[in-house]
Amino acid sequence: MSVVTGNLWKLYFMPEQENQTKKLVDDNILLLNQLAQFVQEQASQIYSLPNEQLQSGSIGAHVRHIIDHYLSVLVDGGVVNYDQRERDANIEINATYAGDILNALCSELSDLSKSDSVKVVISTNVEGPSSTVDSAYDRELCFLHSHTTHHMAIIRLLAIHNNIVLPCYFGKAASTQKFEKNVQF
């Protein structure tokens, strides 16, 4: 079976849920590839430089935070625990290392083929215990995409503050990009 025939077969005969999961995986991989390309082009001093004026962590801190969330979802076991993230400080200071991890995440994501149920552990209150809720990998992929876009928008501001030019779509929500395509300015 050729690649084209194989892809057509998947498109027409793959169960709808698996098609949806694949689409969400592909959308997350596209976003992580944009981030990885940006990260790999950065000098370490800019990448790890906190911004006192904007009262934000460094670009690297935001990249680490994004990676931690993906790792929380990709760890096997049917439980996603956003509260117990690894927080590898090396990701925050070493752009090459962070880029390698982003590329590895894309590879791991590509193996996700269906949306199983999952339990999610997350704190929503500083004083109280973590909440555990039912979810599914598709829902968590939607969350990861939105969360990553949000942090890429912050990274964009930090980059602009350091005179780094980024594509206009970097850190912009897909819904906003769709809206802007359909509105004449």
Task: Answer yes or no: is pLDDT of 22 > 90.
Answer: yes
Are 120 and 133 in contact, with CB atoms under 8 Å apart? yes
pLDDT in tens, 140-166: 999 999 999 999 999 999 999 989 989
Q: What is the mean pLDDT of residues 30-36?
A: 97
**HSE of 46 in the Cβ direction (CA atoms, 13 Å)?**
16
pLDDT of residue 17: 62
How is domain 16-172 classified at the architecture level of CATH? Up-down Bundle (1.20)
Task: Answer yes or no: is pLDDT of 11 > 70.
Answer: no
pLDDT of residue 170: 95
pLDDT of residue 54: 78
Match 């370490």 to its residue by tokens.
Answer: 44
pLDDT in tens, 72-104: 999 867 899 999 999 999 999 999 999 999 999
- How far apart are alpha carbons 89 and 87 in whole angstroms? 6
Name the β-bridge partners of 117.
136
Match 């996603």 to its residue by tokens.
Answer: 80
pLDDT, mean over the chain:
89
Helix (H, G, I), strand (E, B) or coil at 62: helix
pLDDT of residue 147: 98
Start-end of H helices in 52-173: 59-74, 89-93, 95-110, 137-161
Are 87 and 66 in contact, with CB atoms under 8 Å apart? no
